[in-house]
Chains A and B, each alone.
Chain A
Amino acid sequence: MNSAIIETHALKKQFDRKSVLSGIDLSIEAGQVVGLLGTNGSGKTTFIKCLLGLLHPTSGTSAVFGETSWDLSASAKSRLGYVSQEFAMLPWMSVRSMTDYTGAFYENWDKSYVDLLIKEWNLDEKSRVGTLSVGQRQKLAVILALGHHPELLILDEPVASLDPIARRQFLKSLIEFTEEEENTILFSTHITSDLERVASHVVFLEEGTVGFNEELDELKDRVKRVRISGVQNLREKLNIPGTIRAEYHETHALLTVKEFQAPQWDSLAAEINAVITVEDLNLEEIFLELSEVSSASPQQVIA
């Protein structure tokens, strides 16, 4: 029995001759809440579209619920909810008719749940979809994706246009969604603080490959900033493997390391007679540290 909800192997996607995804191996299991991070143009949306069968991969495989993405059955589609960045809606419909219309496509549409969300999210069901603000349309798109109680939610920057209050309500709905233990979420976002609240795992895309994929807590445990103040000049003494970034100022040094292990630093402190303090980094800082490294790397992809 394979509990992987999403599975890709060597997934590649090129547009003309430009490679956007250059070999993605990823497995997401039931119950995981996965935040997809990456700089603009790192391939997040393309990846999501390949998963959903909206784009045909150039090579490699992609499967959702064990079915090939490109040929998802109706029953597999009824088990997933998707919010895209460009939510296509019918502008002349009211919020009410839009939800009824969408509901007609699903066997297990939960009208009372949808009504509750519309109320909680302060949408007016009589408004025409065309007159809604971007943020309101985004709320509606999320409600439409939740109405049939999917087991897998795929969200492409769902909160980009939401105000802080709406974002909180959105997070609350996501948390309710995860109370069902087998429910799975994959969402891309730039708002790392939201991700820190709900994500169990973080996948970092860089230049079309998976930079890292691991539990959020483990990531925070291993990436640390270390401040060293010693007595003598430090530079030549410190050659620490796994250093992402280092700044030296005579007797002081500021390092970012990606595999922090406390005992190693304790013995170093004793050895070089220095005081070492360790700073925890939040996800945004980790993201910045890691993407600075990748953007500074020599192999730039030429489009």
Chain B
Amino acid sequence: MTVHPHQFEVHPSSGVPIYVQIIDQVQAMVAGGILKQGDMLPSVRQMATELGVNPMTISKAYSRLEAANVVERVRGKGMQVTKLPVGGSHEERLDELAPLMGQAIVRGRQLGLSDEQILSLVRQLLKEYSS
């Protein structure tokens, strides 16, 4: 199976560099099981023309993914997903989440919510997202 460039969503005018957006989405697709071991990424050319971005940007994203062992270059075929996601250690994963939670807490305080109210919202949302 392969993914199609249409499954990627690129926002050129977001502050996040386009290559980072693509890396994040490939990693999310791997983590989410949309991309499995052995699947191919679209070619650089396909991605560049379909998404309307510079081919070098796509190459850069692919090279970084290769360096991170998410994909490997297969001669004559392109980029292939290497292995199942490595989620990082428990601590690393928490570190990644912390800034996002931090932002939510700041906003909560701005809205004048108490810690208990924020916590109960988190609990409620956890339930809603459990399905």
> What is the CB-to-nearest-CB distance from B98 to chain A, in angstroms, rounded to a whole number?
10
Could you tell me if A280 and B56 are in contact, using CB atoms closer than 8 angstroms? no
Q: Which of B12, B15, B19, B99 contacts A285 (CB 8 A)?
A: B15
Task: Say yes or no for B76: interface residue by CB 8 A criterion.
Answer: no
Task: Say yes or no for A247: interface residue by CB 8 A criterion.
Answer: no
Across the interface, which residues of A come within 8 angstroms of B60, CB to CB? 217
Across the interface, which residues of A come within 8 angstroms of B18, CB to CB? 196-197, 217
Task: Say yes or no for A255: interface residue by CB 8 A criterion.
Answer: no
Could you tell me if A178 and B54 are in contact, using CB atoms closer than 8 angstroms? yes
Task: Say yes or no for B73: interface residue by CB 8 A criterion.
Answer: no
Could you tell me if A198 and B15 are in contact, using CB atoms closer than 8 angstroms? no
Task: Say yes or no for A93: interface residue by CB 8 A criterion.
Answer: no
Bitwise, A183-199 to B at CB < 8 A (1) or not (0) is: 00000000011001111
Could you tell me if A33 and B54 are in contact, using CB atoms closer than 8 angstroms? yes
> What is the CB-to-nearest-CB distance from A189 to chain B, in angstroms, rounded to a whole number?
13
The stretch among B27-35, B45-53, B119-127 that forms the contact with chain A is B45-53
Instruction: Count B interface residues, CB 8 Å.
Output: 25
Across the interface, which residues of A come within 8 angstroms of B53, CB to CB? 175, 197-198
Task: Say yes or no for B38: interface residue by CB 8 A criterion.
Answer: no
Across the interface, which residues of B come within 8 angstroms of A197, CB to CB? 12, 18, 52-54
B contact patch SS: helix
Task: Say yes or no for B89: interface residue by CB 8 A criterion.
Answer: no
Across the interface, which residues of A come within 8 angstroms of B105, CB to CB? 275
Which of A33, A171, A175, A193 gathers most chain B CB within 10 Å? Answer: A175
Q: Which of A168, A175, A275, A282 contacts B15 (CB 8 A)?
A: A282
Could you tell me if A277 and B102 are in contact, using CB atoms closer than 8 angstroms? yes
Could you tell me if A220 and B12 are in contact, using CB atoms closer than 8 angstroms? no
Residue of B nearest to A279 (CB): B15
Across the interface, which residues of A come within 8 angstroms of B19, CB to CB? 217
Number of A-B contacts (CB under 8 A): 68
Bitwise, A215-254 to B at CB < 8 A (1) or not (0) is: 0110011001000010000000000000000000000000
Residue of A nearest to B60 (CB): A217
Q: Which of A175, A281, A283, A284 contacts B52 (CB 8 A)?
A: A175
Across the interface, which residues of A come within 8 angstroms of B16, CB to CB? 220, 280
Across the interface, which residues of A come within 8 angstroms of B14, CB to CB? 280, 282
Across the interface, which residues of B come within 8 angstroms of A285, CB to CB? 15
Residue of B nearest to A179 (CB): B55
Across the interface, which residues of A come within 8 angstroms of B109, CB to CB? 229
> What is the CB-to-nearest-CB distance from B58 to chain A, in angstroms, rounded to a whole number?
10
A171 vs B54: C-alpha distance when bound (angstroms): 9
Across the interface, which residues of B come within 8 angstroms of A200, CB to CB? 54, 56-57
Could you tell me if B54 and A172 are in contact, using CB atoms closer than 8 angstroms? no
Across the interface, which residues of A come within 8 angstroms of B106, CB to CB? 229, 275, 277
Bitwise, B53-73 to A at CB < 8 A (1) or not (0) is: 111110010000000000000
Across the interface, which residues of A come within 8 angstroms of B17, CB to CB? 216-217, 220-221
Task: Say yes or no for B13: interface residue by CB 8 A criterion.
Answer: yes
Task: Say yes or no for B131: interface residue by CB 8 A criterion.
Answer: no
Residue of B nearest to A276 (CB): B102
A168 vs B51: C-alpha distance when bound (angstroms): 11
Task: Say yes or no for B103: interface residue by CB 8 A criterion.
Answer: yes
> What is the CB-to-nearest-CB distance from B15 to chain A, in angstroms, rounded to a whole number?
2
Across the interface, which residues of A come within 8 angstroms of B15, CB to CB? 220, 224, 279-282, 285
> What is B's interface to A at a CB cutoff of 8 Å?
12-20, 45, 48-49, 52-57, 60, 99, 102-103, 105-106, 109
Q: Can you offer 25 A-B residue contacts whose CB atoms are under 8 A?
A: A31-B56, A168-B52, A172-B52, A175-B49, A175-B53, A176-B49, A178-B54, A178-B56, A179-B45, A193-B13, A196-B12, A197-B12, A197-B18, A197-B52, A200-B54, A200-B57, A216-B17, A217-B17, A217-B20, A220-B15, A275-B105, A279-B15, A280-B15, A284-B13, A285-B15
Supply 7 further A-B pairs (C-beta < 8 A) apart from A197-B12, A197-B53. A168-B52, A175-B48, A175-B53, A178-B54, A200-B54, A217-B20, A217-B60
